[in-house]
Structures are given as structure tokens and as C-alpha cells.
């Protein structure tokens, strides 16, 4: 199973927060700093993509609800 399949948004945020804390406390060895920054960059990209995908899914769902509401002649907002 690929890492993207195992990784969740919550896990990515938690790991990213951990990396940030380590860097802020200056507890990251200079030899691993570049690797931590690379990992943080990957996690940020993952989270952004996950948010974009989720936003699109929500927009599609709301659009479907609106279309069904219009088809049924219901003029009320779905929420």
C-alpha cells in the first residue's frame, strides 16, 4: 500500500506540527534538518491537495442537492 493510502489529513497535520515543534525548539540535528524540511514540504502539499479534493466533493454534493431541489420545485435552501 502506498504512503498516500495510509496517510490521512489528520495524521499529516499531526506529523507536520511535530516537525514544526522540533524545528522551533531547535532540537533537530543539522544533519537531518534537510530531510525534515523535505518531509514537511511533502505533508503541506498532501494537505493542500486533500483540501482541494474535499472542497470539490462538497461543491459537487451541494450542487446535486440544489439541482434536485430545483427539479422538485422546492424553492427553499437545502440548509
- Tens digits of residue pLDDT in 10-28: 999 999 999 999 999 988 8
- Tens digits of residue pLDDT in 37-77: 999 999 999 999 999 999 999 999 999 998 888 888 765 55
What is the Cα–Cα distance from 63 to 57, expressed in whole angstroms? 10
* Domain spans of the chain, in order of start: 7-71
What is the Cα–Cα distance from 48 to 46, expressed in whole angstroms? 6
Amino acid at each position: 500500500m502506498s504512503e498516500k493510502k495510509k496517510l490521512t489529513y489528520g495524521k499529516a497535520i499531526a506529523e507536520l506540527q511535530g516537525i514544526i515543534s522540533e524545528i522551533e525548539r531547535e532540537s533537530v540535528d543539522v544533519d537531518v534538518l534537510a530531510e525534515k524540511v523535505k518531509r514537511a514540504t511533502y505533508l503541506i502539499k498532501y494537505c493542500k491537495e486533500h483540501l482541494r479534493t474535499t472542497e470539490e466533493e462538497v461543491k459537487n454534493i451541494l450542487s446535486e442537492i440544489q439541482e434536485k431541489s430545483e427539479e422538485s420545485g422546492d424553492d427553499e435552501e437545502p440548509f
